[in-house]
Amino acid sequence: MSRSDRTTHAGDGTVTGALRIEPSVRALLRRLRPGEVAVIDILDLDQQSAEEIAARRPGAVIDVKASISGRYPTGGPRVLLEAGVPLIDEVGSAILGAKDGAKATVSGSQVLVDGTVVADGREVTDDVLADAMQDATEGMRVQLATFTANAMDHVEREADTILDGAGLPDVGLDLEGRHVVVVAPGFRHREQIASIRRYIRDHRPILIAVGHAADATLELASAPHLIIGDVDGVGDDALRSADRVLLHEPRGGASGQARIDALGLAHTVSDSSLSSTALAILLAHTQGASVIVTVGVESSLQDYLDTSQADASGTFLARLQAGTSIVDAPALAQVYRHRYSPMTLVLLVVAGLVALGAAVWSTPAGRAWAEDLWTMVNSWIGGA
């Protein structure tokens, strides 16, 4: 069904479509269809979640909480606005009681079902977002303090793993001296994979995919050598294509284990409290990878604050431990140039000479010159 079949856009900006109510983004992404009105319950919408929601092309997004609260300048609302998706936030929890699938109309800051206003919040426009971002900058001190506290908590609990790789499972891959690409499902990870495909073709690195980034890895690069993390959202094709699976669900979920068992896939398990991305980086580092290219992994302070703080602080420590072997995909894409093999260069020269010879031979003067040259060469050979 096309988007136009599911939603109606009036000339005044009014949007009409079916309500899809899922407080959890992961659950929402499994059910959301183009043109539907997505209802979420997220305080400070992060860039990754917003990007994944926008990719489903909803008619509008309704947030129960403030999509940008003022704690820090989160990037999610900007992602939706740039994608042309209307965003209404601070509507309150009453809308969660509306009937899932009911036809709703979004007009300005209001959400109506059967002509009755069921929610009224804040229409997030460019001007509203600019003011909120300015206020949010002042809240970064508190967020930074929280981030630091989370990092110290990881140091207390996972110091041996971070420093020495203690407790990391054997995944059966030889990474010594190899290039490794860690693909996490972060903001613009698909775009980043596409930007380094030439590097991947040239160097054939070990590909480690984190969670549902395995699908993008298989589609845009190659089959992942290792999938690590919660595999509940990973497609069957990607799971079956991987050489190894490391099941890691630090929040205690069991759905991934059931999925692996149902598919009959061999796997190992880790119960580390670090994020799956952190584990992937530490695995590559402790096993001697010479270069670790990160895709969809936080690299700036705002990126770290825009992600789950418990996960981001562990990833930050893992990156520090990997040190100079870490290269971010956006930077790699800027500086990498295609590497041609010697045989390719020889073939290019030969092809150029053949083209030049054909051009010379096509003219009478050129043909006469070539015949004289051939006679001269033969006389030299005969004289020798």
Per-residue model confidence as pLDDT tens digits over 136-164: 766 677 777 887 888 888 888 899 999 99
More confident residue, 12 or 124: 124
| C-alpha distances in Å from residue 43, one per residue of 60, 90, 271 | 17, 9, 28
More confident residue, 265 or 311: 265
pTM comes to 0.71
Superfamily of domain 3-137 in CATH is: Phosphohistidine domain (3.50.30.10)
- Looking at CATH, the fold of the domain delimited by 170-335 is given as Rossmann fold (3.40.50)
Examine the pLDDT at 273 and tell me if it is beyond 80: yes
The mean pLDDT of the chain is 85
| pLDDT value for 309 | 56
Q: Where are the beta strands (DSSP E) in 261-305?
A: 268-270, 291-295
The stretch 182-205 carries a mean pLDDT of: 93
| Domain definitions of the chain by residue range | 3-137, 170-335
283-294: string of b/e by CB count within 10 Å (b at 16+)? bbbbbebebbbb
Per-residue model confidence as pLDDT tens digits over 214-250: 999 999 999 999 999 988 888 899 999 999 999 998 6
More confident residue, 96 or 145: 96
Question: Are the C-beta atoms of residues 210 and 276 closer than 8 Å to each other?
Answer: yes
Per-residue model confidence as pLDDT tens digits over 37-55: 999 999 999 888 999 999 9
Question: Are the C-beta atoms of residues 329 and 295 closer than 8 Å to each other?
Answer: yes
